[in-house]
Structure 1
Amino acid sequence: MNRNIILYCFSFLFLLACDGMNDNIKEYLDRGEINYIGRADSATAMGGINRIKFMWKINTDPRITSGKIYWNDKQDSISFPIDRGLIDKDGYFTHILDDMPEGTFIFNLYHVGMDNSLSIGYEIPGTIYGDIYKSTLSPRKIKRVEALADKVNLYWGDAGSSSGILFTYTNKTGEKKTIDIPASETVTVIDDYVLGGEYYYKTMFLPEKDALDQFELDSPVDKFPTYYVGDGSLDDNFPEYPKLDRTVWKIIDFSSEEPTGEGANGRAALIIDNDPSTFWHSEWEATTAQLPHYISIDMNTVKNVKCVTIAKRQSNTDLKTAHIEISTDNHSWEIVGKVEFEKTENPNARTIVLGETKKARYMKLVITESHRSPSASISEVYVLGTE
């Protein structure tokens, strides 16, 4: 009997508790079902330069009149009207927040009804870019510019995170031309360049795949080489610039010569004797002359120089790099071109072709590298130009 009394008491207390619970939720039950307005769908954010773009799908709910975006833990927000005429063919609406601080944020997007009721929110992470991001970028570098008779080759360094290059130059018709160079390109070939012509470029960066804006880093204005190097047999290419007569030319200075060890050869004067079988050689018997070697020539009067050909000693591989300097007064010198030779017998000669003729009376041949350092030899130096 005592057991039955105890069970009865527990049952009575349980029923009282349930009745109190119904009182607590009664006010929510009385409200009935909440019918939210249509929620944003498939929302994305695209970061830009101090701004961010949102795109999302809007359904056909006629109660949607505007939108609202919160960020900074809902401390900041912006409201905007939704014009259904601006929804694209795929059902997407776009809104851009301008004048935003740089950083990464969590945005909450809501649709707003005519009675200011809100839809269920849509959370979107997004990043806005600015000076901090830009300070981490470096422009893509040009490793080497190779000028040739009919084209110039630009050899690019590592692209890093860049998305491409906008390269602007002056072409042969005098027009400024801009070409788009993809980040994947390592060598750019330009076939309408001008020797000595100006160029500049912008390195482009997309901070994210579908970024709203791209960053541009300007590189300073530079110039293409003022010369190109040919194979040493260019006489027929420039009929208006004949090979200059060297009979009155004189050697006026040299770093060294070999007066005895090469027999009839070795002396500096032999580079202008019009005999390719003879040659100058750096001194090696009495003492060993060190690089760089040089020989200075007086061409007797001022010439208009178009091309300079440097010919190696025949069947010899010593010469590696040399350059030509010119002057009108034997005091102020200008380097006008450089040649490089592989360690092979051929080509025997290389020709520096200037974009524009240069006035010069004095010419200096400077040898800076040898394949058999420090020894070097030269057979002839020719000039194409006018008196």
Structure 2
Amino acid sequence: MKKIIYIIISIIVCLSYSCSDMLDNIRPYLDEGETIYVGKLIPIAFPGKNRAMITGILLFGQNQVQCTIRWRNPATLEEEVRVLPIERHQGTELVQFLLENLEEGQYDFSIITQDAEGNTSIPTTTATYVYGEQYEATLVNRNIKSFFTESVLDEDGEWIWVAQINWIVSRGDGIVGCYIKYDLNDGGTEELFVPVSELTTELTNYKANGVWEYKTAYLPDELSLDTFYTQPVIANLPDYSF
């Protein structure tokens, strides 16, 4: 029994020393007094062309007055900071911060909110890739499988010439569609948008040997703020032929 009591006392003594050591480790923080944290932002980053938008939800409190966003410039690796105001109106609130004139590259954002007394939130993070000229230079126009002409009856029963474009199927490359502009037989021009899901496009009542052009639109990310475009392809429309 004495041996058991000795073991218990030894354990208590060891725990006492351990607790003292733990208190010594955190005493500087205890001496500073209570820490007040401001409600944090729960963020998500939207990419764009040399810009990004931080969108987030504020859930706790209504005392946030500003938001500090930090990141490293991917070109120089230098830290950059933006301090942006917050206006609170309700308990749960959606806020947006647009960051412009950004270099192309990967961004890891660290975000804190602050109240009027200088108290801050726990940092939150979000990341995205900002696109620019380097990405845009890699884009190519949607491929055409075939391009031919035919004469068809229109709604008024008159024969008109139609140029038919058959597109190659696009998969997973970010293409959302093409913008086409072409000369009409009556002297005007026609403009249309062809979604990527469309595999056949008809240019009705086109002008023989007139001019047509098209450019391809891309979204590099489903969350992208901006649409990117290829350089337009400009060519002559075919002659009428049976």
TM-score bracket for this pair, using the shorter chain length: 0.7 to 0.9
* Aligned 1:194-209 pairs, distance under 5 A: 194-209=207-222
Distance in 2 between residues matched to 1:163 and 1:31, nearest whole Å: 57
Residue 370 of structure 1 corresponds to none
Distance 1:11 1:107, change over 3 A: closer
- 1:169–1:197 contact (8 Å) kept in structure 2: yes
Aligned-partner Cα distance in 1 for 2:4–2:112: 58
> Within 1, Cα distance between the matches of 2:235 and 2:7?
99
Separation (CA, whole Å) in 2 of partners of 1:158 and 1:78: 43
TM-score, normalization by structure 2 = 0.78
C-alpha contact 2:36 2:119 (8 A) present in aligned 1: no
CA distance in 2, matches of 1:197, 1:92: 51
Distance 2:5 2:208 in 1: 112
| Residues 66 and 83, structure 2, Cα contact 8 Å, conserved in 1 | yes
Does the alignment pair 1:139 with 2:141?
Answer: yes
The aligned counterpart of 1:212 is 225
Report Cα offsets for 1:267-312 as digits up to 9, x if no partner: xxxxxxxxxxxxxxxxxxxxxxxxxxxxxxxxxxxxxxxxxxxxxx
Shift of 1:101: 1.5
Instruction: Report what 2:54 is aligned to.
Output: 54
Aligned residue identity for 2:44? T
The match for 2:129 is 127
Percent sequence identity over matched residues?
25
Matched, 1:79 2:80: no
Separation (CA, whole Å) in 1 of partners of 2:169 and 2:41: 42
Q: Which has the higher contact order (CA 8 A, sep 6+)?
A: 2
1:169-318 correspondence to structure 2 within 5 Å:
169-229=182-242
- Secondary structure of the residue that 1:227 maps to in structure 2? coil
Q: Which runs of 5+ in 2 are unaligned?
A: 152-159
Report if the CA contact (8 A) 1:145-1:224 is conserved.
Answer: no
AA of the residue aligned to 1:75: E
Deviation for aligned residue 1:44: 1.6
Offset, 1:180: 0.8
Provide the TM-score with structure 1 as the length reference: 0.51
Q: CA deviation at 1:215?
A: 1.1
Q: Which amino acid aligns with 1:47?
A: P
Cα deviation, residue 56, structure 1:
0.9
SS in 1 for 2:134: helix
SS in 2 for 1:78: strand
Distance 1:7 1:218 in 2: 82
By how many angstroms is 1:108 displaced? Answer: 1.4
Secondary structure, counterpart of 1:134 in structure 2: helix
Q: For the Cα contact (< 8 Å) 1:170–1:197, is it kept in 2?
A: yes
1:77-120 Cα deviation digits (max 9, x unpaired): 211112448x9xx9422111111111122211221211232212
**Once the two structures are superposed, what CA deviation does each residue of 1:105-159 show, in whole Å capped at 9, x if it has no partner?**
2211221211232212221121111222223321113333212222221122343
Q: Residues 63 and 88 of structure 2 are in contact (CA less than 8 Å); yes or no, is this contact kept in structure 1?
A: no
Which protein has the larger Cα radius of gyration, Structure 1 or Structure 2?
1
Is 1:57–1:91's contact at 8 Å kept on the other side of the alignment?
yes
Counterpart amino acid of 1:226? D
SS of residue paired to 2:111: strand
- TM superposition shift of 1:226: 1.9
**Separation in 1 of the partners of 2:133 and 2:236?**
30
RMSD: 3.1
- Measured in 2, the distance between the counterparts of 1:4 and 1:140 equals 83
1:207 is matched by which residue type in structure 2?
Answer: P
Q: 1:131 to 1:35 in 2, by over 3 A?
A: same
CA contact (8 A) 1:169 1:177 kept: yes
How far apart are 1:166 and its partner, in Å?
Answer: 0.7
Which amino acid letter does the alignment assign opposite residue 128 of structure 1? Answer: V
Q: Matched residue of 1:200: which SS?
A: strand
Task: Answer with 196-205 or 136-145: which moved more.
Answer: 136-145
Distance 1:38 1:20, change over 3 A: closer
